[in-house]
């Protein structure tokens, strides 16, 4: 059987070559995971299209993947995990509870991912996505939540995020 896969989903204006993906992918590889980063740049303002692209990739795999998403990519990862089982969700400053990301504009009261393994990292100083949105989701889903002294891009927190991801992957596949 092939090794399990970690799929990274980048943020709104980012790319598969983003600093977070470049620095975090080796963490997953060191744990024996196959790593992919989906390119959504042609779907910049289309979260629904991004979710469909991720779901298509998940259908092609022989077992559930771990999804790692940042900002809009966090929303995309969670939305896909509501439709298909995944091995785990690791979300960085996820764009949750935002009306312009939801098909039809109706924000759900809660999200229901098809996994027991969810971890979220968010920055206290995020001026794009309120950290309280992550707290709300963490409370509802009993997810692990790490709040760092960082802004939305979280670049200053990458060593701590890498340690959190490593711990998450170890516990998810122990």
Q: Give per-residue pLDDT as tens, 115-161.
A: 999 999 999 999 999 999 999 999 999 999 999 999 999 999 999 99
Q: Give per-residue pLDDT as tens, 34-87.
A: 999 999 999 988 998 999 999 999 999 999 999 999 999 999 999 999 999 999
Place of tokens 């959190």: 164
CATH number of the domain bearing residue 163: 3.40.50.1820
**What contacts 46, CB < 8 A, 6 or more positions away?**
none
Number of domains in the chain: 1
Please report how many Cα atoms fall inside a 13 Å half-sphere around the Cα of residue 93, on the Cβ side. 26
What is the span of the domain harbouring residue 107?
5-172
């Amino acid at each position: 059987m092939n090794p399990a896969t970690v799929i990274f989903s980048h943020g709104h204006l980012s790319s598969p070559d983003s600093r977070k993906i470049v620095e975090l992918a080796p963490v997953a590889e060191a744990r024996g995971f196959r790593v992919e980063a989906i390119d959504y740049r042609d779907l910049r303002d289309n979260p629904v299209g991004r979710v469909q692209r991720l779901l298509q990739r998940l259908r092609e795999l022989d077992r559930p993947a771990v999804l790692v998403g940042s900002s809009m990519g966090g929303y995309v990862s969670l939305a896909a995990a509501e439709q298909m089982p995944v091995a785990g969700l690791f979300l960085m400053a996820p764009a949750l509870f935002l009306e312009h990301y939801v098909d039809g504009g109706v924000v759900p009261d809660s999200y229901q991912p098809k996994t027991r393994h969810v971890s979220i990292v968010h920055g206290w100083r995020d001026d794009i996505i309120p950290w309280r949105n992550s707290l709300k989701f963490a409370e509802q889903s009993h997810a692990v939540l790490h709040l760092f002294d960082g802004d939305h891009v979280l670049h200053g927190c990458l060593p701590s995020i890498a340690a959190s991801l490593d711990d998450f992957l170890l516990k998810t596949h122990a």
